[in-house]
Amino acid sequence: MIELDARRLMCPMPVIKTQNIIKTLVSGDNVRVTCTDPGVMQDIPAWCRINGHTVLKTEEIDYEYILTIEVGSD
């Protein structure tokens, strides 16, 4: 599992950071993205749907938003 720390970044940076790390991975890899911007709970799943990736899990813990993504095939 790859960990991406996108805390203290505001839109659109968490999505851009997620996109950049996913470009380096292969289908089936998992990424766990931790953010503090609540907008990611809509933005990252929307980006994943458009780009063929799957959000496996979303969590909200102590004002942090954590999304686990499975990389799809391009």
> What one-character-per-residue DSSP string does 2-26 give?
EEEEETT--TTHHHHHHHHHHTTS-
Longest pairwise C-alpha distance within the chain: 34
Residues labelled catalytic: 11
DSSP code of residue 36: S
